[in-house]
Amino acid sequence: MSKLFSRSELVEERRRLKEQARVVVFTNGCFDLLHPGHVRYLAEARELGDVLIVGLNSDRAVRVLKGAGRPILSEFERAEVLAALEAVDYVTIFDEETPRELIASILPDVLVKGGDWPVDRIVGREEVEASGGTVLSLPYMEGSSTSKIIERIRRAQDESAAT
């Protein structure tokens, strides 16, 4: 996957992009079971700049954040799916429970999260704003949630088993 970069590779790439005056947008998340809400969100994020970097929570971090049974797909499977999207230019996996260190190391021009995150709660906001960047919360697409998809699958399995 040519879009998958280690943190150190991404820091070097960010330096190069800055020299070229390209606007770098960053977002992060688990992106387990990619759904239309994710696809639309990432496309909107990409429109805010020249390059979109996605920080992907590692399997360990997803388990801490989402609980037992998650993630459904491994970090490398999730990275491959994200990298296949036209809107995504770079993917990097991070193991911390928040992306603060990653964001501080690349200092994107634009930091975005979905509308379920108020701007004042977006991790990395202080670092990005201090470096002159912008922090945005994009509209949330109701009904598009990995957790809700998993619930629907489990309900269907339960109904199937009951018949």
Domain positions in the chain: 7-162
Residue 114: half-sphere exposure toward Cβ, Cα within 13 Å: 18
Look at residue 144 and tell me whether its pLDDT is greater than 70.
no
Backbone angles phi, psi at 46, to 5 degrees: -60, -35
Residue of 32, 12, 25, 23 whose CA lies nearest to 54:
25
CA distance 55 to 132: 20
Residue 44, H or E segment: helix 36-46
pLDDT-based confidence at 147, cuts 50/70/90? low
- Is pTM beyond 0.75 here? yes
CATH code, residues 7-162: 3.40.50.620
Band of pLDDT at residue 33, cut at 50, 70 and 90: confident
Q: Return the pLDDT at 35.
A: 87
* Structure confidence at residue 145 (pLDDT): 67
Query: Mean pLDDT across the chain, nearest whole number?
Result: 91
| pLDDT band at 1; cut points 50, 70, 90 | low
